[in-house]
C-alpha cells in the first residue's frame, strides 16, 4: 500500500509536468493506453516539446535525488521511454540545493576522526551541489597532504567532496518503490520483459551504491590517472590519500575554466574546435584502449586549464567494457564510417548479439537503412550518438537482448557529442573519431594485432600447461574417491549424522504442527458451515 501511494504521488507530479505526452498511447495495449490518456487529462494544455522537457526535469528534481538519477539513467534507454523522452532526459542536470555547511563539516570530522579546523585552515561553503554529494574548497594546513619535502610548504588548496547526509536512506526508500513499479510492469505488460525493467533498476542500484562510496571514486581517479599519464591533453586531479573516508573525498584543487561557461573559455583564449576534438577523442581512446571510461562527461564535470588540457572531475560513475565489447564498438563505428554494412552485420552475429535464426543479409539491410541517410549530409547534421540510438531501436525486430555495457557507452556518446557540438557547432564527429578508431582497428585487427593475439594465446596455453600437474593430481584423487564410494557406499562421519538427525527432528515436529493447524482450520470451517445451515 505504501509503495502504491508513493507511485501514485510520483505519477501525479509527472502527469502534471506533461511527462506522459512523450508516450505513444496508440502503440500500447489497451490498459496502459487508457492510463496514459487519463494522465494526460491533468497536464497543462498546449505544451511544446521543449516546455514539456523542462517541466519533466523540474518534476524529477522536485521528486528528489533518486528520481534525478533514475531520469539520467533512463536517458540511455530510448528503447524503453522513447526517443523524445530520452532526448529530454539527457538534458537533465544533476543540480540540487546544497545542504548546510555545518552538516558537511560534521560529516568530514566523523570520517577523518579530527575537527575540520585541525585539517584545514579554511573551509568554504558549497561551490557545487548534486544529488549524491556537494563540493567545498578548502586550504590544507601545512602539516597535511602528501608533500614530504623538507622545504616550507606552499599554500595548498583542495576540493572536498562530501556525501549528502540523507543520500543512502532516501535512495533505499525510493529504490523499493522503483522495484515495485518494475515488477508491476513486467507482470502486467509481458511484452516489456525483453527490456528487463527489473534489471534496469538493479543496474541503477549498483551504480548509485558504488557512487555513494567515495573511496571507490578515489580508486577510479587513481586508475584513470595511471591510464592517462602519457596524454598531454587530458588530466584528472590527484587524491589526498591521507584524508580519505567513505563519505569524504579530498583531491587537489585545479584552477581551470568549466566548459559550461563558453564566454569564459573564449576569454581565456582557448581553441574551442580543438577542445571539442579532445573531448571526443579522449573518450574513445579510454573506452577502446583501456576499457575504462568516464561515464558522466557533461560540461559540469569538464574543465580546461591554462595549458589547454581537458580536466575531468567527478568520477563516481565509470564504465568498463571487456575486449569483446571494445572490438564490437570499434568495428561498429568503423563500419559506419566505411559504409561496410555486411561487416557490421557479421560483427553482431559473431558477438552473439543477434540470434542465429536471423539472416546476416537481412540485418545488413536494416543497418543500411540506418547508415545511408546520414552520408552526404553536412557534418553538423550528422549525429553518431543518434545513429547508435537508431541501432538499438532495431533490437526488437531482431530479438537482440539488452546489453547494459553498450547502453552505457551509447549514453556517454550522447553526452560527449553534445559537449563537442556546443563547443563547436560545426563539429564533425566522423572525421574526429576515425583516427582513434582506425588506429585501434589497425593495431588489434591488423597483422600486428593477429600476432599479438597469437602470442596471448600461447601465453594462455603456457599457463594451462603449468597447471596440468595439479589438475591431474586432483582428477586422480576424485577418481579414487569415486571408486571407494562405488565399492563401499557413501559413509558419513558422526557429526554429519547428528546434524541430519537434528534437522529431521525439526522437520518432523514442523510437519506435526502443520498437520494440527490444517486440522484445526478444517474444523473451524466445518463449524462455520454447519452454523450457517
Q: What is the CA radius of gyration of the chain?
A: 29
State the cell numbers at 350.
559473431
Active-site residue (options: 296, 314, 424, 428) = 296
**Cα 424–chain centre separation:** 27
Report d(CA 336, CA 332) in Å as an integer: 6
Residues with Cβ within 8 Å of residue 230, at least 6 apart in sequence:
none
Using alpha carbons only, what angle is made at residue 488 by residues 482 and 492, rounded to the nearest 5 degrees?
Answer: 85
Report d(CA 283, CA 263) in Å as an integer: 24
**Cβ–Cβ < 8 Å for 223, 292:** yes
**Cα 19–chain centre separation:** 23
Active site residue 263: no
**Cβ–Cβ < 8 Å for 246, 215:** yes
Burial of 308 (0-12, 13-18, 19+ CB in 10 A): middle
Report d(CA 162, CA 172) in Å as an integer: 19
**Cβ–Cβ < 8 Å for 92, 60:** yes
The CA–CA distances, whole Å, from 354 to 343, 360, 395 equal 14, 9, 8
Residues with Cβ within 8 Å of residue 133, at least 6 apart in sequence:
161, 162, 163, 164, 167, 214, 316
Helical spans, DSSP H, in 322-428: 323-338, 341-350, 360-371, 384-393, 404-423
Four-residue CA torsion sign, 406, 412, 416, 422 = positive
Query: DSSP 3-state assignment of 490?
Result: coil
Burial of 515 (0-12, 13-18, 19+ CB in 10 A): exposed
Residues with Cβ within 8 Å of residue 352, at least 6 apart in sequence:
none
End-to-end CA distance of the chain: 37
Query: Looking at the annotation, which residues are catalytic?
Result: 296
Amino acid at each position: 500500500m505504501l509503495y502504491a501511494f508513493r507511485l501514485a504521488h510520483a505519477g501525479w507530479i509527472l502527469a502534471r509536468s506533461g511527462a506522459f505526452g512523450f508516450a505513444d498511447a496508440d502503440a500500447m495495449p489497451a490498459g496502459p493506453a487508457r492510463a496514459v490518456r487519463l494522465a494526460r487529462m491533468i497536464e497543462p494544455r498546449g505544451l511544446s516539446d521543449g516546455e514539456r522537457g523542462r517541466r519533466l526535469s523540474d518534476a524529477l528534481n522536485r521528486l528528489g535525488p533518486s528520481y534525478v538519477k533514475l531520469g539520467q539513467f533512463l536517458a540511455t534507454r530510448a528503447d524503453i521511454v522513447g526517443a523524445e523522452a530520452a532526448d529530454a532526459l539527457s538534458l537533465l542536470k544533476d543540480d540540487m540545493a546544497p545542504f548546510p555547511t555545518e552538516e558537511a563539516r560534521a560529516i568530514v570530522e566523523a570520517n577523518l576522526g579530527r575537527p575540520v579546523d585541525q585539517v584545514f585552515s579554511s573551509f568554504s561553503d558549497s561551490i557545487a551541489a548534486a544529488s549524491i554529494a556537494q563540493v567545498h574548497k578548502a586550504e590544507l594546513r601545512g602539516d597535511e597532504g602528501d608533500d614530504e619535502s623538507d622545504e616550507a610548504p606552499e599554500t595548498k588548496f583542495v576540493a572536498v567532496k562530501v556525501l549528502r547526509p540523507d543520500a543512502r536512506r532516501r535512495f533505499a526508500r525510493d529504490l523499493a518503490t522503483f522495484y515495485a513499479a518494475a515488477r508491476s510492469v513486467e507482470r502486467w505488460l509481458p511484452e516489456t520483459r525483453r527490456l528487463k525493467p527489473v534489471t534496469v533498476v538493479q543496474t541503477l542500484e549498483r551504480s548509485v551504491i558504488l557512487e555513494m562510496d567515495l573511496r571507490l571514486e578515489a580508486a577510479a581517479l587513481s586508475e584513470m590517472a595511471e591510464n592517462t599519464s602519457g596524454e598531454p591533453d587530458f588530466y584528472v586531479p590527484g587524491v589526498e590519500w591521507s584524508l580519505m573516508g567513505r563519505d569524504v573525498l579530498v583531491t587537489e584543487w585545479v584552477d581551470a575554466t568549466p566548459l559550461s561557461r563558453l564566454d569564459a573559455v573564449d576569454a581565456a583564449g582557448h581553441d574551442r574546435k580543438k577542445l571539442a576534438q579532445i573531448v571526443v577523442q579522449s573518450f574513445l581512446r579510454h573506452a577502446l584502449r583501456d576499457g575504462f571510461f568516464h561515464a558522466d562527461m557533461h560540461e559540469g564535470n569538464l574543465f580546461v586549464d591554462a595549458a589547454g588540457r581537458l580536466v575531468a572531475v567527478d568520477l563516481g560513475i565509470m564504465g568498463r567494457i571487456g575486449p569483446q565489447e571494445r572490438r564490437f564498438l570499434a568495428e561498429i563505428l568503423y563500419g559506419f564510417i566505411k559504409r561496410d554494412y555486411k561487416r557490421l552485420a557479421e560483427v553482431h552475429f559473431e558477438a552473439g548479439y543477434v540470434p542465429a535464426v536471423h539472416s546476416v543479409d537481412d540485418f545488413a539491410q536494416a543497418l543500411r537503412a540506418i547508415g545511408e541517410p546520414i552520408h552526404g549530409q553536412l557534418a553538423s547534421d550528422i549525429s553518431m550518438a543518434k545513429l547508435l540510438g537508431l541501432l538499438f531501436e532495431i533490437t526488437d525486430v531482431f530479438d537482440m537482448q539488452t546489453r547494459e555495457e553498450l547502453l552505457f557507452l551509447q549514453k556517454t556518446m550522447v553526452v560527449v557529442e553534445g559537449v563537442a557540438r556546443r563547443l563547436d557547432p560545426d563539429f564533425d564527429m566522423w572525421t574526429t573519431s576515425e583516427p582513434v578508431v582506425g588506429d585501434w582497428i589497425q593495431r588489434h585487427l591488423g597483422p600486428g594485432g593477429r600476432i599479438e593475439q597469437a602470442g596471448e594465446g600461447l601465453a594462455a596455453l603456457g599457463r594451462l600447461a603449468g597447471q596440468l600437474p595439479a589438475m591431474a593430481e586432483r582428477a586422480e584423487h576424485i577418481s579414487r574417491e569415486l571408486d571407494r564410494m562405488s565399492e563401499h557406499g557413501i559413509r558419513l562421519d558422526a557429526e554429519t549424522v547428528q546434524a541430519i538427525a537434528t534437522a529431521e527432528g525439526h522437520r518432523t515436529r514442523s510437519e506435526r504442527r502443520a498437520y494440527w493447524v490444517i486440522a484445526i482450520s478444517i474444523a473451524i470451517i466445518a463449524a462455520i458451515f454447519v452454523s450457517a445451515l
